[in-house]
Amino acid sequence: MKKLITPVVLVGLLAACNEAPAPDLHKNYILDDQAHPLVVLLGGSDGGNYFAAPQMQPLLKRYHDYGFSVASLGYFGTENTPGKPRELPLEAINQRIAALARDPAVKDQCVVLLGFSKGAELALLLGSHFDTANHIVAAFPSHVAWNAVKSPTSQSGWRLNGEPLAYIDAPLVSFDMLSGMITGEYVDAFNAALAKASPAEIDAARIPVEQIQGSVTLVSSKQDQIWPSYDMALHIEEHLQQRAYPKPTLHIALAGDHYSYDRETMHKVLSHLKDVMGSDCE
């Protein structure tokens, strides 16, 4: 039996078991009075902070085996964050991560953002516009910014310097999106939105990943049923190559679906991070 470690599949169960809002921040640090590198986890479009659930703690402790402390950050749908992911201010999210980076328990210049799905979009945006994180891992990523999810109106999911970011619109009220609510497959809706967008619209919404200050690790799925993460990861790779990006990059393309990030994948990602971060982050 495949042992999935991406807990998206448990969100519904956890929500049913606990109606209280999820905490904004959850820490699972190595407690030995030493400073350690930190991985900050960002979840997907379900919102909340499902990594904070008690069932997730054995998973988080696995990061300790690689020398990483770990924190999970809710950016909407938690106690003190917006209820909906609409025009979320990137500066405010970055400030929360910067506060974690200043903690004496965190080794200087050794901060990783690891985002899943919508959280991967966020991790790439944060890495592109701020230098708080030194390494970005985007699991099931996007090369462009998208509209606000779960919103019947068309508006950006993100805001920077007080202005909404340009975005590609995959409308909630469309045949492909509404069909996905029954089938669980939304990839056609996102492919249709990308096909409809003009080159100028794609360029305006493109995440400027060439501005990221550290390594970039991508994890995609070739059979992604949510959105075309494999194709979008290829776009990111191509863009970085065209810009002669000087930092280490890695693309792990999985054969499975959107929820195929398993223990083997986790091992590849964390082992690669240790290699590229070097002795300064040991």
In terms of pLDDT, which residue wins out, 149 or 222?
Answer: 222
Can you give the pLDDT at residue 172? Answer: 87
Tell me: the pLDDT tens digits for 50-106?
Answer: 999 999 999 999 999 999 999 999 999 999 999 999 999 999 999 999 999 999 999
Confidence of residue 175 (pLDDT cuts 50, 70, 90): confident
Tell me: the pLDDT tens digits for 235-278?
Answer: 999 999 999 999 999 999 999 999 999 999 999 999 999 999 99
Can you give the pLDDT at residue 231? Answer: 98
Can you give the pLDDT at residue 151? Answer: 84
- DSSP SS3 for 117: coil
Confidence of residue 173 (pLDDT cuts 50, 70, 90): confident
R_g over Cα of the chain: 18
Residue 166 near residue 204, CB atoms below 8 Å:
yes
| The overall pTM is greater than 0.85 | yes
In angstroms, the Cα distances linking 26 to 29, 58, 90, 196, 250 are: 10, 14, 20, 40, 28
- Average pLDDT score over the chain: 92
H or E element at residue 38: strand 36-42
Tokens for 242, please give them.
């065209």
Mean pLDDT of 14-40: 83
Q: Which residues pair with 146 in a beta bridge?
A: 168
Residue 259 near residue 3, CB atoms below 8 Å:
no
d(CA 281, CA 33): 16
Confidence of residue 19 (pLDDT cuts 50, 70, 90): low
